[in-house]
Amino acid sequence: MSKKRIVVAMSGGVDSTTVAALLKQEGHEVIGITMQLLDYKDAEGGCCSLDHVVDARRVAQELDIPHYVVNFMDSFKELVLKDYVEKYESGKTPIPCVLCNQFVKFDLLLKRTLELGADYLATGHYAKIERVNGIYSLNKADDENKDQTYFLYTLKQKELSRLMFPLGSLKKDDVRNMARKLNLKLAEKPDSTGVCFVPSGNYRDYLISQSEFTEKEGDIVNTQGDVMGKHKGIFSFTVGQRRGLGIAAGKPMYVVEIEPSENRVVVGEEDKIYSNKLLAEKISWVEDLTANNSSTDNIAEKEFEVKAKVRYRHREDDALVTMKSDTDAVVEFKNPQRAITPGQAVVFYKNNKVLGGGWINRVL
C-alpha cells in the first residue's frame, strides 16, 4: 500500500496503541483521535475514563504523532445510553457496543476522519476486511477468541471502503509481543471488559441512577402462571438467568421470558429456555443483496441458508433466514438454541464472512 494519511481511533488500550505504532512504522501519516463519550467523573475506571485519554495522549507523544480528543458526549447519550435504558425498561437485554460502533465510531468518527483529509480510519478491532472485484467483505479475525465481527455486522460497503482493521490477522499474544518489541509502555495493560459506561459492572445500579428510569414491582411466575415470588423491576432479569431470581422452587429455575406488558418474569426448568425460531428486525446486510437484480426485485420473502449466532460468545449454527419485509425476518435454526434473548443481535455468517444481522425482537 502506498503511504496514506490514516486516523487511528486510540482508546488508550494495547490494541489501538499497537495499530498506531504499526502504521507509523510502515511510513503512513498517522493521526490519533480519542473519543470523549462521557463526563470523566462518570467514567472512573472504565475505558472511557480520563486515565485512558491520558494513556492515549502519552502514546501519541511517544510515537510523535498528532493527537486530538473529540467530544461526542451528546451523541453518545442520545444514540447509545438512551437506548440502553429503554431496552432494559422494555424487558430486553441491550448490546451498547453495536450501536456505538454503528453510530459513533463508524459514522461520526469516520466523518471526522474524512474532514481531516484522511484516507482511512483504523481501529484495534479484531476483524478482517477484504476486497474482491470491487466488493468489500467483512470477515472473522484469525484469533477466534478475540473475533469482534458480531459487533460489526451493521457495516456496509461505504464504511468498509474507508476502514482498516490491522489486527485481524494477528493473535492477541502476537499483538502484545509486538507492543513489547516496539517498546510501548501499554504493552502489559489489561484489556477493558464489560460496558464502558458501567465500570463497576453493576448495570442495575447504573440504571437506577438514571433520572428517567423507574423501578416497578411485579410477579415472578412459572410457565403455568403460578406466582413464585416478586421482583423489583424486570430490568434485573435476562433470558437464561439462573442466579438471583429470589425464589425457592426446590429445583433449578431459569428466566424463560420477560413480559413487559404484564410487568412479570416467567421462569421454568432448563429445557424451557431452548428454542429454534425468532423474529429479527432492522436487518442490515454487508453487501447489497439486490445489487445484481432488476430494480423491481425486492428482498421480501427471500430465503437464505446461513450460519447464525444469537450471542457474542455463542457458536453459530445452521439457520434459515426468511425475509418478511426489507428489514424484518424470521430466523429458524436447525437445532434449538439456548436462551435466545430479545435485545441481542442475531448475526449471519457464511464460512468466515459476515453476511449481516439484525436485532432479536422476540422468540416465536
Residue showing cell 415472578: 220
Contact in structure between 124 and 16 (CB atoms under 8 Å) = yes
Among all residues, which ones are annotated catalytic?
100, 196
C-alpha cell at 332: 429458524
In this structure, which amino acid lies at residue 336?
P
Dist. CA 64–CA 323, nearest whole Å:
51
Inter-residue contact 229 to 253 (CB < 8 Å): no
Which phi-psi region, left, alpha or beta, contains residue 207 (left: φ > 0; alpha: ψ -120 to 50)? alpha
Torsion sign over Cα 311, 312, 318, 323: positive
Phi, psi (degrees; rounded to nearest 5) at 262: -100, -5
What are the residue ranges of helices labelled H in 156-237?
A: 157-160, 172-181, 203-209
Could you tell me which residues come within 8 angstroms of residue 150 by beta carbon, excluding any fewer than 6 positions away?
Answer: 309, 312, 345, 347, 357
* Backbone phi, psi, residue 4, to 5°: -125, 160
Sort strands 120-122 and 5-9 into parallel, antiparallel or unpaired: parallel
* Contact criterion met (CB below 8 Å) for 25 and 31: no
**How many whole angstroms separate alpha carbon 253 and alpha carbon 44?**
36
Q: From residue 250, how far is each of 149, 218, 240, 242, 247 by CA, in Å?
A: 41, 22, 18, 13, 9
Distance CA 248, CA 145 (A): 37
Question: Which one-letter DSSP state was computed for residue 266?
Answer: E
Question: Partners of 29 in the beta sheet?
Answer: 5
- Residue 234: name the closest of 361, 85, 82, 95 by CA: 85
Edge-first strand order for the sheet with 29-36 is 67-71, 29-36, 5-9, 120-122, 163-164
